[in-house]
Amino acid sequence: MIEYVVPGNIDDRILSRGVAALQGGGLLGVPSDTSWSVICSLVSKEGIKKLRRLSGERDERHFTLLCSDISQFGELCGMDNTRFRLIKRLSPGPYVFILNTLLGTEKTLGLRRKEVGVRLPDHSVPLALIRALTVPLYSITAKRSMASASNGETSPSGYEEETELPPIPEEELFEGGWELEDIDGLDLVLDTGDERPRIYSTILDMTGDEVRLLRQGAGPWPV
């Protein structure tokens, strides 16, 4: 099902429908400041299970926690003053920051790694959902291979052993929200009616002493 929304002025009934779907373990397709994302609630084990199954990815670095403000990062991950200042400088925007997780986050997500990506998107739709839901969203970039997987084809198995993450081919990304309706398992697609650019976020690994570029995307690095 697709619902058209006005950025910054989402109909309360549609917003409530999206929140209810997330609370019930559902998956939503939403726009972001890069491409389209598939999301679930951070506190929904069923939603996380569905998202992982749909994505076909094993490497947690492909998944991102979307937050509504930087203070939520600190509730999920370890972050000192140096990291906080850099994240504040680059947020909101097209950056994913890989941080070491706190014990509770690790257990909630069932992570095999002790780190996870966090991001503050510069788009009103996911931000409105996070604020209404009152918890972060677990997300992954929507890709055409997800539609192929739902039709019985094999989706990518991930890059668990790679040091860097490869770029996502442009042809794998969606432009219009209506295209996401080909992905089985989505309860709702929130569409602003605008085509999204086929770009992806820059991923920065901040778990070590130095910031390490894992994937160059829309956000410039170094800055």
Q: What is the pTM of this model?
A: 0.91
Tell me the domains of the chain and their CATH numbers. 2-215 (3.90.870.10)
pLDDT in tens, the chain (223 residues): 899 999 989 999 999 999 999 999 999 999 999 999 999 999 999 999 999 999 988 888 889 999 999 999 999 999 999 999 999 999 999 999 999 998 888 877 877 788 999 999 999 999 999 999 999 999 999 999 998 766 555 444 444 445 788 899 999 999 999 999 999 999 999 999 999 999 999 999 999 999 999 999 999 999 9
Report the candidate in 153, 154, 151, 157 with the shortest Cα–Cα distance to residue 52.
157
Residue 155 is predicted with a pLDDT of 46
